[in-house]
Structure 1
Amino acid sequence: MRGEVWRRGLPSGKKVYVAQYRQNGPLPALEHRRARLPDARLGGQEAARRGRESGSDPIAQRRAAGAVSLFSEIADEFMRTHVAGKRKARTLEAYEILLRLHILPMIGALRVTDIRRGHISKLLAGLAEHLGAANRALSVIVAVWRRFRCRCQTIC
């Protein structure tokens, strides 16, 4: 196994130390944000050792993380499979309006696993003048999230 560690500067001005090692193929890069180069070298060596011992492939892990669906995809599936068949027409229409006008513009492009409390708080703050819409939007988000969790448990 061969490894390298070097420092790279980000556009923000932050220093990033990159540890790269070869394990049965191309060189996957593992980043370590450390204050000093010796710490980055040790961190890179430790990450490489853990990768060798576990047989993990960082590239495959990144691809698996990228396989997580976007919130908009999960919301579309939720609307097709759950709401369309089990709710009244007016409820379907209200959910579609909430998704189209408020929810999807804010969090639709995010992967479901990347959505944080701050995203939801920002969305609800934008609906502060319309408390009923904010409460309904939150209930739709929670319902979509629960649907995602159920789907993950059956797939994973």
Structure 2
Amino acid sequence: MSIRRKGNGYEVRVYVGRDPTTGRKLYASKYVSDQEAGGQEKAEKRAKRIEADLIRQVETNTYVPPAQKSLAEHLDEWLEKEAKPNTKPRTYPRYEELVRVHIKPSLGAIRLNKLTPAHVVTLLAEKRKEGLSSRTCLHIYRVLHRALEVAVQWGLVGRNVCDAVRAPRADDEAPVGLTAEEVEALLKAAEGERLYPLLLTAVHTGMRQGELLGLRWADVDLKTGVALVRQALEKPGRRPVFTTPKNRKPRVVPLSAQVVEALKKVQAEQALERVFYGKDYEDYDLVFCQPNGRPLDGLSLTRWHFKRLLKKAGLPESIRFHDLRHTFVSRALQAGANPRAVSEIVGHYDPGFTLKRYAHALPQDMREAVRRLELHLNHRAAPRSPEV
């Protein structure tokens, strides 16, 4: 252990052990410049604090030697060894894109152990100047945080510098659902087509697209009018991949009488298709599928078939399939449905999230009740609302 004057600063050296391969003595070293510390006296005090901290790390076996690899090298290794095996197939490409397009060009050349919170702050500020949304910046921050958390777990660095940086705050945009007239126009345009029961079920249940495309007959009880959502289509094709719903919890979804009748027709039509295709029918027990039983391709569904129906119905092409889910939640709340029940039906992790996200859809009588309570607590008479 030693602190010695070197140049215009102090060098700290602490013995940490021997190299297990060569037997050579290993030291942890740090340099504190007078200029950086704000003077020689302050530099000496900082050097002593650093020495004490290094000794503590060595004695508690928490010392991590400096990593020689760059951030770019670690990100590549993290993507291949950690992210790819442990994320859903549709999520990994987004991680890879954020790393390749946004993180590596700005920070990739920096050595992992030289990365500082200031680097992260600068990266996020640059991305905002480039016009990226606050939500995209939040995604960049989260991906970098996860990669650096693994670096800590692997013993490459002693801390995650992202912990010292405030995560970007994403602007919450109120979800936009379809009006009753727009729903009617869309369903009318889809009448007689294979997608009609799918769209009807989406509007009446708020299920996610992947959940609809992964729904099995074994999980649907048409007699009692309920469906058990416990799998979602992750990847279509000849070897489809199914996974758990987004929050990884199965849930029961009630089916309206209109949906039940539509699904009965689907069941009857599928029985005929099974006979027609015979041995070539690929039976995954799916409620919504291709004529040969194979899963529907969600990408083709949204990019082509759904857009075609929007055009046929005279609706804006900006409407997304996911907006049908927003439509269910918004209309259910406006109709006076219990927010907790709505939250459970659509699989939100917390009823509070539902209320916060869809506050704009709360029925007027609920807002009126709050207004009257406020006036009562302030000892003011509440004027009668005009009759409608």
Give the TM-score normalised by structure 1: 0.56
Q: Superposed, which structure 2 residues align to 1:1-156 within 5 Å? A: 16=8, 33=33, 65=66, 67-128=67-128, 129=131, 130-152=133-155
Partner residue of 1:52?
none
- Rg: which structure is higher? 2
CA distance in 1, matches of 2:106, 2:99: 10
CA distance in 2, matches of 1:139, 1:32: 32
Relative to 1, partners in 2 of residues 1:114 and 1:90: Cα closer, same or farther, differing over 3 Å? same
Relative to 1, partners in 2 of residues 1:149 and 1:131: Cα closer, same or farther, differing over 3 Å? same
Q: How many residues align?
A: 111
Q: Alpha-carbon deviations, 1:85-134, whole Å to 9, x = none?
A: 11122211111111111100111111122111111111111222321110
Relative to 1, partners in 2 of residues 1:87 and 1:6: Cα closer, same or farther, differing over 3 Å? closer
CA distance in 2, matches of 1:31, 1:76: 30
Gaps of 5+ in 2: 12-29, 45-64, 157-388
Secondary structure of 1:120's match?
helix
Segment drifting more, 102-111 vs 82-91: 82-91
Backbone CA RMSD of aligned residues: 3.5
CA distance in 2, matches of 1:33, 1:86: 43
How far residue 17 of structure 1 moved from its aligned partner, in angstroms, is 7.8
Aligned sequence identity (%): 21
How far residue 148 of structure 1 moved from its aligned partner, in angstroms, is 0.4
The one-letter code matched in structure 1 to 2:111 is R
The one-letter code matched in structure 2 to 1:141 is L
- Bigger RCO of structures 1 and 2 (CA < 8 A, at least 6 apart): 1
Relative to 1, partners in 2 of residues 1:116 and 1:6: Cα closer, same or farther, differing over 3 Å? closer
How far residue 31 of structure 1 moved from its aligned partner, in angstroms, is 7.6
CA distance in 2, matches of 1:142, 1:31: 27
Gaps of 5+ in 1: 8-15, 20-29, 44-63
CA distance in 1, matches of 2:114, 2:6: 28
The one-letter code matched in structure 2 to 1:77 is E
How far residue 32 of structure 1 moved from its aligned partner, in angstroms, is 7.7
How far residue 18 of structure 1 moved from its aligned partner, in angstroms, is 10
Relative to 1, partners in 2 of residues 1:33 and 1:97: Cα closer, same or farther, differing over 3 Å? closer
Relative to 1, partners in 2 of residues 1:114 and 1:92: Cα closer, same or farther, differing over 3 Å? same
CA distance in 1, matches of 2:84, 2:34: 50
CA distance in 2, matches of 1:152, 1:17: 29
